[in-house]
Amino acid sequence: MLYSPADVLLSRLESSLSGLTPEEAERRLEVYGRNELAKKHKHSVVVDFLLHFKSPLVIILIVAGLISGFLGETSNTIIIFTIVLISVILDFYQERKAENAAEMLKEAVTTTATVTRGGVKQEIKLHAVVPGDIIYLSAGDITPADARVISAKDLFINQSALTGESFPVEKTSTPMKTKNSSMTDWNNYLFMGTSVVSGTASAIVVKTGSTTEYGKIARKLVEKAPETEFEKGVKHFGFFMMRITLLMVILIFMINAFINHTNEGILNALLFAVALAVGLTPELLPMIVTINLSRGAIVMSKQGVIVKRLASIDNFGSMNVLCTDKTGTLTENKITLVLHVNPEGDNDDKVLLYSYLNSFYQTGLKSPMDEAILVHEKMDVSGYQKIDEVPFDFVRRRVSVVVESDRQRYFISKGAPEEILKVSSFCEINGLPVDLTEELRQRAEQKYYDLSSEGFRVLGVAYKKLKEEKSVYSIDDECDMVFMGFMAFLDPPKETAKESIRLLTQAGIELKILTGDNEQVTRKTCESLGLEIKGIALGSAISQMSDEALSRMVEEANVFARVTPVQKERIIALLKGNGHVVGFMGDGINDAPSLKSCDVGISVNNAVDVAKESADIILLKNDLTVLSKGVLEGRKTFGNTMKYIMMSVSSNFGNMFSFLGISLLLPFLGYAFLPLLPIQILLNNLLYDISQSSITTDNVDAEYIEKPKRWDLDYIKSFMFTLGPVSSLFDFITFFIVIFFFLPTVPVGQQETLFQTAWFVVSLITQTLIVFVVRTRQSPFWKSKPGKYLILSSIALTAIALIIPFTDFGVRYIQNYFNFTSLHPTFLLALVGIVLAYFAVAEMVKRWFHKRHSYYVDQLLVPKKRGLYISRRSRLVQEIIAVICLRDEDEISFESLIGDLKRGLKYPISNNAVVLNLNHLHSAGLISVDWDTRTIQRQGTINEYVTEYVSTRTIWSMVNKDWIRINKAILDYYGKVNTEYAHLFEKQKNRRINAI
């Protein structure tokens, strides 16, 4: 197709320059189908609403509500289904957004096409174009299908939105010679949806509809977007809670049914178990998450950031790798004239003037570089009169104009530097023409090479004074020219791009550039942005790599040039496979698949429509610093979501154990009643969850949003199993206080309601106030101030809990309906004592937990996916830990640490990277750092981290050789090492012996 002459291709497609016959066209339309893009199946509003009920947490509630309804407990059923409907309706309302990506693609192409059918040129509907049709294109047309050029004249195609190239590309009919080339090199192929900038062409259609490159993208867009890390985390958490709930509910039901095995007793046991299922489930999690994300979306919208998919906000906060296209995202996608220099490289206004005259008076193709010259500086050319021009063509690759000023005619040429030099015999030095000697020619060529290496697009400029006046000039006059110098152009970075990159790096996010542009231009852009290039990978090399090899390359390189849309998507998939949370920012059609497949897709205000439709987040302002603001907002919403989850699971889990234990103890103490009635459990849970909805407005500690955070179910489990028993401990203290000090003071008939009321009040108040301990890793109130709405809602709920047993209002309107009773005022003293003691113990346990598990939340220390590869960044963290642990001294200097790393490692390291990772280790509590004296001191937790979370896990197999090398380097240099870790090397030695 690409490599065959046009007549061979016509024969292969059974067509001719006269086109297909109408009958043959109809037959092919039936065979190949209509020339239309893939359409996305959309659910009806009803179906979409019903799909929101598939959450495991919602399913638990629905089952509980149905059981309660079946057993005739109408009040319980109403409360449960109220919770369900509030959660689902809010979730549905916020997420009901139409996905119109495929439709946008369809609108991007023309509705009619010019073809030849039966030897007659005619306009036909776009969908009727078939393979073998001969199509005609001219300036302003959009290519209706993928086609091979048959003939072309001055044909320039803008395919930047599809391939990412900054400049319009020339298309010719010449067969290609190089095989296995990138699609950006297909100079005789037209892509569906690309636009004709100038020239005319005839072409034969080879692919239509979904089989085109454009159609492949559309097909990808209508596929269901892959689950993001945030969504996977919520789902896994839901299934975990479902298993725990099922186990505990069955156990408690069996215990209560065994104790009271009458029909009424079994029925009450079942209702009690159902109510407990609701109590253990964080049933408002979908609603809390939605409110949390909605609030984040509102805050971000005020900063010019539109969030299309709410789940992407949390992914934004978890993101640790941001892949971005270059053209139009980091750059303005607007060619700018940067330099106008003489052959020596000095700035020369005469070069600018003559270039301006050429661009101003030539009437052919106005290239982006012509436009850049004309807008660079407005020049007065009224003293020059145009006489003639020699148009641009792709053989000469230059354009010439003839102008006259003060009765002197000038022949001015501008074009590819090598072509300008070919027709030059002289060179202007210090304003005077001299012979263009071989030495001067080589110096000019070197300057051209230097400018190109810096990423500039370069044009050469030459002129000569005409001695002979004539009305028409031709190519033959392009000789004996005086070479003047060069015009250098650049697609400039956006003004805020450099600051944005700095802020993202500071936030722990690594930037990787994926572009269809060439490596020289990309390198120059990176230098302009202050982005350190760690490695460059080219699309031609990537196409030859296996997934295993590329999975390593994507970690080492941060610039990927001349990559295709498929390669971009592959890079993102491998980064995700390596355990990263990946964002992608793009603005072109070619970026749409990557925007769909990454964890969070970001587009910009000047993007094509399909890119905006494919993205999760759109930046409306031409200000990339809102990226970092969005990341921080994402981390805040993630943090507040985690607060709710961890408060709910720890408190509810503790309550579950309390119910289990007290259900066993009550009968042995002679009391034949349940700890709480089912309706009381549901009321407690509903009040608590409604009050905790204000957690979405809570403040988030600055240290929490410093680094990316991600879902970690093990971390949630550990917190639940640590704080839950503390809650149970004080439930049992309440139990014994009420049993031994308050129940004996009332008649037997009132003991059940007294016990249940007392426990309800204590449970509700302790759950409410303990939020101030759990919400922060720091000391509550004085070091970490809670949000005002959280404080107000907690005060309101505490007031409700006290109103029920201690006021006339509670007696008249609440007690009878929920079977409560009044409590003696002396119970308030016990309540205050329990709450204060619970608060103090929970704070101590929380501090111990976070000190022990501080490295859990830092994804830089332990890669999320422990596969066959560890990224260089994570490896460096482990190597720094190895040096700190293996040094015999407890305190070492920055300089000695860096020296040990350089002696023990086989690859170069960056001092800045070492310091950055020291800061992470300090934040995780593994080391202490004195920044004034530049010294590091290891903490006791680092030994625990290495022993429990490095040496015993898969990560050890990936870093043990580094430890061995570092151990040897330290021993050789200092003559001693810390023997505390000798067992690690013995273990490795034993493994090798066993393997033998």
- Residues with a catalytic annotation lie at 325
* Euclidean distance between CA atoms 542 and 636, whole angstroms: 37
Question: Which residue is listed with tokens 């598990």?
Answer: 853
**Helix %, strand %, coil % of the chain (to 5):** 55, 15, 30
* Euclidean distance between CA atoms 865 and 955, whole angstroms: 10
For every residue of 59-99, DSSP letters joined together read HHHHHHHHHHHHTT-HHHHHHHHHHHHHHHHHHHHHH----
* Euclidean distance between CA atoms 841 and 913, whole angstroms: 40
What tokens appear for 439 in the block? Answer: 């030495």
**Residue 396, helix vs strand vs coil:** coil
| Beta carbons of 609 and 107 less than 8 angstroms apart | yes
For residue 987, give Cα distances in angstroms to 879, 952, 993. Answer: 19, 11, 10
How far is C-alpha 838 from the geometric centre of its chain's CA atoms?
41
* Euclidean distance between CA atoms 598 and 600, whole angstroms: 5
* Euclidean distance between CA atoms 548 and 318, whole angstroms: 25
| Beta carbons of 443 and 385 less than 8 angstroms apart | no
* Euclidean distance between CA atoms 321 and 800, whole angstroms: 47
The runs of H, that is alpha helices, within 128-190 are 160-163
* Euclidean distance between CA atoms 154 and 2, whole angstroms: 20
Q: What is the CA radius of gyration of the chain?
A: 36
Phi, psi angles (nearest 5°) of residue 532:
-70, 125
**Closest-CA residue to 1 (of 150, 144, 143):** 150
Count of Cβ atoms closer than 10 Å to residue 759 Cβ: 22
With a CB cutoff of 8 Å and minimum separation 6, the contacts of 848 are: none
User: For 636-649, what is the HEC assignment?
Assistant: HHHHHHHHHHHHHH
* Euclidean distance between CA atoms 510 and 529, whole angstroms: 14
What tokens appear for 320 in the block? Answer: 């640790």
What tokens appear for 643 in the block? Answer: 């607060």
- Please give the helix or strand (H or E) that residue 725 lies within, else none: helix 713-737
Question: Which residue is listed with tokens 């053209």?
Answer: 327
Residue 931, burial from CB neighbour count under 10 angstroms (0-12, 13-18, 19+): exposed
* Euclidean distance between CA atoms 169 and 172, whole angstroms: 10
* Euclidean distance between CA atoms 587 and 585, whole angstroms: 7
| Beta carbons of 587 and 568 less than 8 angstroms apart | no
**Closest-CA residue to 614 (of 99, 10, 255):** 99
5 residue type, one letter: P
